[in-house]
């Protein structure tokens, strides 16, 4: 069995710098932020250092990772591609990633990142801040991000607002999670542009949607009707995720208020 940790920053903050791979994977007392079938995201507060740890645990053999890069390494490299592309969007700071293999078979892995200070999930910001003084600047930055992605011919999967955070005070956007990123115009036309547009339909006001259509459609290979049609394949699942996100926030706020009252 082999374990590997790749540190991607000049200074890995304590206590992470003192932990082994096994200790990182087993570290307790993190706040569960998100979870699925094979991955879980935890938030850890160590004084001024606030980090997110994404853990992957594979219950079955993923043959595609036996001879290829692990998912955490791909995520790190994809975020680096975004930086080099200069899309006008920042990325989260990856501090380290690691993986464990048994006879080349990936069994588990982790990705450690630093929290973006004073951030809000872009999807939640747009839902709950219709009158925020920075809203129009945030909308403008989202549209400009879309323009630059189209111009770059980059295909980025999961380009949804839940995978971006915004810092409201300066309207900066930060990408959190990029599973695939490469120059592939055909794939971008099938997935990237419709995914982005599906979230514009869900989170922008009608006036903001018209503004986005005016700025984006001249750069696309299809008209607005075709873009709307292609976006529909993502609308249903994104509506469900939007509802789940809002429910999670309401429950979290209720729990916080209950603790304060006690």
Instruction: Locate 115 and state its tokens.
Output: 């929290």
pLDDT in tens, 144-181: 999 999 999 999 988 999 999 999 999 999 999 898 99
Higher pLDDT, 126 or 106: 126
What pLDDT shows up at residue 38?
83
Q: How many CB atoms lie within 10 A of CB 101?
A: 17
CATH class of 120-249: mainly alpha
Share above pLDDT 90 across residues of the chain, in percent, rounded to a whole number: 71
pLDDT in tens, 71-122: 899 999 999 999 999 998 999 999 999 999 888 888 899 999 999 999 999 9
Higher pLDDT, 167 or 257: 167
What pLDDT shows up at residue 258?
43
Lowest mean pLDDT among 192-196, 228-232, 254-258: 254-258
What pLDDT shows up at residue 254?
40
Own/partner long-range contacts of 239-245 (Cβ < 8 Å, ≥24 apart): 239/202, 241/160, 241/162, 242/123, 242/127, 242/202, 242/203, 245/121, 245/123, 245/124, 245/162
> Is 219 within 8 Å of 146 (Cβ atoms)?
no
CATH class of 2-114: alpha beta
> Where along the chain do the CATH 1.10.510 domains lie?
120-249
> Where along the chain do the CATH 3.30.200.20 domains lie?
2-114
């Amino acid at each position: 069995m082999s374990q590997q940790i790749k540190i991607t920053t000049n200074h890995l903050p304590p206590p992470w710098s003192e932990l082994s791979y096994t200790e990182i994977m087993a570290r307790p007392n993190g706040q569960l932020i998100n979870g699925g079938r094979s991955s879980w995201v935890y938030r850890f507060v160590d004084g001024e250092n606030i980090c997110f740890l994404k853990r992957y645990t594979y219950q079955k053999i993923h043959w595609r990772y036996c001879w290829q890069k692990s998912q955490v390494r791909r995520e790190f490299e994809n975020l680096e591609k975004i930086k080099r592309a200069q899309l006008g969007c920042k990325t989260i700071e990856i501090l380290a990633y690691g993986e464990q293999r048994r006879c080349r078979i990936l069994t588990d892995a982790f990705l450690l990142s630093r929290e973006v200070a004073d951030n809000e999930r872009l999807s939640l910001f747009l839902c709950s801040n219709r009158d925020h003084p920075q809203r129009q600047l945030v909308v403008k930055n989202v549209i400009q991000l879309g323009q630059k992605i189209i111009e770059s011919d980059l295909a980025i999967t999961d380009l949804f607002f839940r995978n971006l955070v915004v810092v409201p005070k300066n309207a900066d956007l930060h990408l959190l999670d990029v599973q695939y990123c490469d120059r592939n115009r055909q794939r971008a036309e099938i997935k990237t542009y419709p995914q982005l547009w599906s979230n514009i339909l869900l989170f922008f006001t009608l006036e903001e949607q018209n503004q986005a259509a005016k700025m984006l459609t001249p750069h696309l290979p299809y008209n607005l009707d075709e873009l709307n049609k292609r976006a529909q394949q993502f609308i249903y699942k994104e509506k469900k995720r939007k509802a789940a996100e809002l429910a999670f926030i309401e429950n979290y706020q209720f729990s916080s208020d209950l603790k304060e009252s006690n």
